[in-house]
Structure 1
Amino acid sequence: MKYFREILVSLSITLALLIFPAAAAALTLINMEMSADEFFRVGVQQLQRQNYQEAVKDFTAVIDLKADSAAAFSNRCLAYLQLEEYESAIADCSQAVELNSQNTESFLNRGLAYYRQGNYASAIADYNQVLKLKPIDFRAYYNRALAKSDLQHYQEALSDYNQTLSLMPIQDTFQLATVYNDRGTTRLMLNDNLGAIVDFSQSIYLNQQDYRTYFNRACANQRLSNYTAAIEDLTLALKLNPNYAEAYANRGIAYYQLGNEQQALLDLQKAANNFLFQENITAYQQTLDLLKQLKGEETVIA
């Protein structure tokens, strides 16, 4: 089985840290500071437009003019994060934290960079710092839950998902759907299949267009031998993603469990074809082996 998660990226921009020059400053200093402020404003606009390379250039210009700008380092960290340049992101967020230890966005984004590198312990340490400074930040709870889940600390992850759901704005329906889906996968890992189905169902209620959640609910139903329900969910997943190899494979297995060997073989062949197209050779070979096994059993039965 394959379960899915998505990381909630910190997209907050530290606009509140924009500082205008004091009126009493010398003329040359005012001009320099205003130039830095202008670069900062343009950099923020580039971030909002998802022009991350340009944002990096603008925040670099700010830093060249004003080396103690924690906001510029923090926002350039965010741009590097979006560009998947994680070492640069970590370096910038670390500098932002050194300049302003109260900036939760820097800790949050550095934590995400660590997470993307697979450094879950460091990510958790940064999320812990966010929660010390801002105990109601649901993003920190959510990202910490993901890291704890990857460390197989499922009970702790479940607690963080619960906190996330208690703090998230109810109008963020798509994000809520993602969190319910992720909590459901954690419940699966804890063998709470019924609880997982409840979470996946709530996720589907909030967002009916995510094929992965139907797949996950099908996995829970297959664990409970509810093969008919699993087939229904896998069919819905395939309507949303017709090339979903894993869904074909699992539906084939479910059909086989119900005695529909012909449909099982058809689905497994489709799964193998899609795995091959995706160049997932390991899954392709495993599916072929399963096909050979089932065909062999059919011959014996006949």
Structure 2
Amino acid sequence: MRRPLYFLLFMSLLATSGVWAQTAEEYFDQGNIKLNKGDYKGAVENYDKAIAQQNKVPAFYANRAIAKYRLNRYLEAIQDCDIALRLEPNQAKVHNNRGLSKFALKRYQEAIDDYTKAVALEPTFAKGYNNRAYTYLMMKNYQSAIDDYDKAIGRNLEDAASYNNRGWAKAKLKRFSEAEQDYNRAISLDQNYAMAYNNRGYVRSKLGDYNNSIKDYSQSIVLNPRFSEAYLWRGIVHHRFGNLEKACRDWNSALRLKNPKAQSWIDDFCTGDGPALSAEEYFNKGDEALTAGKWKEAINYYDKCIHLKSSHHIAYAHRARAYRKLGQIDKSIEGFSRAIELKPDYDWALASRGYVYYTNKKEYEKAIADFDKAIKLKPDYRWAYAHRARTKFRMKKYQEAIEDYNRALKIDPNDGWSYRNRALARYELGDAIGTCEDLNKAKELGDYKADGLIKEYCKTRGGGNIGKDTISVDTVNSYNTVLSSKNAEAVKFYTLGNERLDNESFYDAITRYTQAIWADARFKEAYLNRGNTKTRLTDYKSAIKDFDSAILLDGRYHEAFYLRGKAKWLSNDNEGAKTDWQRAKALGNTNAKNMLILHFKE
């Protein structure tokens, strides 16, 4: 949304005296005349003849570089500037012109170096600052661009394009009011500047001034009827303003002008020349996809909802959750933050952002602050208490963690997750009996990890006689006392998978379990946990294959029979589930026994 601003500097430097000076000077003067008339090829020919007679005159090379630049012969232009600078090193304008050729070749940092040398040699050289500013703009170094435009404008460079470009840099930094002032100045200097109207329309839309935004885009189109970007953005403002019919007409106009972005807007929001689904309809489709674990599809629908209704705070929050599931953590936090900005008392978004802070960013203080706010808004928020407790556990504030788990369990006495995690906090404080009591309660409530932890802390170590010399904090996520694999690399990946599963990073967990299986193809626990993770992602068919592999490796693996039965039950294979649970029960699995009682009255 900018137009480039270049400054070429023409130099008419007199040749020195010599045997061929008069003739070389005549060729040089003729070259300058052709250069000013736009006959760049003829200018190069005259400069060639001048150089053939006198090859030590810097101005001959410097001006030939300008002509070659105009012919898009950038490498040759750079070579001529190199020679001119070897003959006379401290020429600010030659450094500037070499910078322009390097910019044209997208060698931006080298161009910056030349412009920097130019302004160092000539501190009042406004055009050098201006060219360096535009290069910074292309490099997305917006603050440096603004600083240089300030210097150029401060040196009396009153140019509409400079104000326009500085405005765009400010807009990129979301300094929209300042950007609007720059566009105002650009338009006052050039009232036919279509791009400046277009850009001012953009920042006005960001400032919520939709009516004047549309007026600016319309004026841009009047000045340049083939300006497809103005049609595109006017359409975007129309649809954010709630006028979908006009939006679709503008997007179709942009498409006819071959704007590459227009088709996606039409596909998303229009049928023919009219609007497609409503914001709520897109939101509902997003929720359906989110529930089904189709994270990218959900994000696509939430995007469309937000395009139509930018104040839809729940859409921002649900999209943030989908981003977290995809591992795009910064986007997730940004989404929850936007939802909270729109609705400061949105307790679920606060608690969810806190969850991301502690599980993914390890920024515990920020997490605690968010959970505190959520609980203040909703004093019976069990989930927030439970995860604030988990955060305090990671901060090694074990007693405070226990107090929060107590609050969570007071709200919901059937919360097996909180019993299991309170057990870990009690263990850290040396309360072995309390640890085992909580683990057994968690198991009774159906917590899927409790049984493995009981074997680790209670049965194998005599219940109340657990000592910290027998187990370290790093092993609390082990799900089996003795693993079937002795391969160190496989066990490492398996342990990483368990950590990812604890944090609900399911896809990453699957990757780690797969790496464990690659390292040891007979690692039954890796198959089991990968299958369990896939079950949580509702990929039952693939999960059942993993449980098959675990059972193939160990025909008496009751946990695999139980979990395979669970996957079959969830995929509506009731008889298959019953058969697997009966087998697991016969092998001593209590969870399978409970499922048979619950579902089959056995």
TM-score scaled by length of structure 1: 0.88
- Provide the secondary structure at the position in 1 that maps to 2:225: coil
Relative contact order: is structure 1 or structure 2 higher (C-alpha 8 Å, sep ≥ 6)? 1
Shift of 1:20: 4.6
Matches within 5 A, 1:149-298: 149-170=137-158, 176-275=159-258, 280=259, 282-292=260-270, 295-297=275-277
Shift of 1:104: 1.8
Contact 1:187 1:195 survives alignment (8 Å)? yes
Contact 2:58 2:83 survives alignment (8 Å)? yes
CA distance in 2, matches of 1:252, 1:153: 29
- Provide the secondary structure at the position in 1 that maps to 2:276: helix
Q: What amino acid is the match of 1:164?
A: A
What corresponds to 1:109 in structure 2? 97
CA distance in 2, matches of 1:47, 1:234: 38
What corresponds to 1:41 in structure 2? 29
CA distance in 1, matches of 2:262, 2:276: 18
CA distance in 2, matches of 1:235, 1:57: 47
CA distance in 1, matches of 2:168, 2:174: 10
Question: Could you say which structure has the larger radius of gyration?
Answer: 2
What do the CA deviations read for 1:181-231 (whole angstroms, capped 9, x no partner)? 010001011110000000001110111101000000011011122211110
What corresponds to 2:110 in structure 1? 122
Contact 2:133 2:149 survives alignment (8 Å)? yes
Q: What amino acid is the match of 2:6?
A: L
* Runs of 4+ more than 4 Å apart: 298-301
Contact 1:19 1:37 survives alignment (8 Å)? yes
Shift of 1:177: 0.9
Shift of 1:105: 1.9
Of the structure 1 ranges 66-75 and 255-264, higher mean CA displacement relative to structure 2 is found in 255-264
What corresponds to 2:15 in structure 1? 19
- Cα RMSD over matched residues? 1.8
CA distance in 2, matches of 1:143, 1:284: 32
Aligned length: 279
% identical aligned pairs: 28
CA distance in 2, matches of 1:74, 1:182: 28
State whether structure 2 residue 136 is matched by structure 1 residue 139: no
Q: Which runs of 5+ in 1 are unaligned?
A: 171-175
Q: What amino acid is the match of 1:6?
A: P
Shift of 1:291: 4.1
CA distance in 1, matches of 2:205, 2:83: 49
Q: 1:169 to 1:252 in 2, by over 3 A?
A: closer
Q: What amino acid is the match of 1:65?
A: Q
Contact 1:187 1:193 survives alignment (8 Å)? yes
CA distance in 2, matches of 1:300, 1:119: 47
Q: Choose from 63, 75, 84 the match for 1:87.
A: 75
Of the structure 1 ranges 66-75 and 257-266, higher mean CA displacement relative to structure 2 is found in 257-266
Shift of 1:251: 1.1
CA distance in 1, matches of 2:280, 2:90: 70
CA distance in 1, matches of 2:157, 2:140: 28
Q: What amino acid is the match of 1:9?
A: F
What do the CA deviations read for 1:133-192 (whole angstroms, capped 9, x no partner)? 11100011011111112222211111100000011355xxxxx11110010001011110
Contact 1:271 1:287 survives alignment (8 Å)? no
What corresponds to 1:66 in structure 2? 54
Contact 2:232 2:262 survives alignment (8 Å)? no
Of the structure 1 ranges 252-261 and 208-217, higher mean CA displacement relative to structure 2 is found in 252-261
Contact 2:197 2:217 survives alignment (8 Å)? yes
What corresponds to 1:9 in structure 2? 7
What corresponds to 1:173 in structure 2? none
CA distance in 2, matches of 1:255, 1:284: 14
Q: 1:299 to 1:145 in 2, by over 3 A?
A: closer
- Provide the secondary structure at the position in 2 that maps to 1:297: coil
Shift of 1:130: 0.8
Contact 2:40 2:71 survives alignment (8 Å)? yes
Q: Which runs of 5+ in 2 are unaligned?
A: 282-602
Contact 1:52 1:80 survives alignment (8 Å)? yes
Shift of 1:72: 0.5
Of the structure 1 ranges 252-261 and 32-41, higher mean CA displacement relative to structure 2 is found in 252-261
State whether structure 2 residue 86 is matched by structure 1 residue 98: yes
TM-score scaled by length of structure 2: 0.45
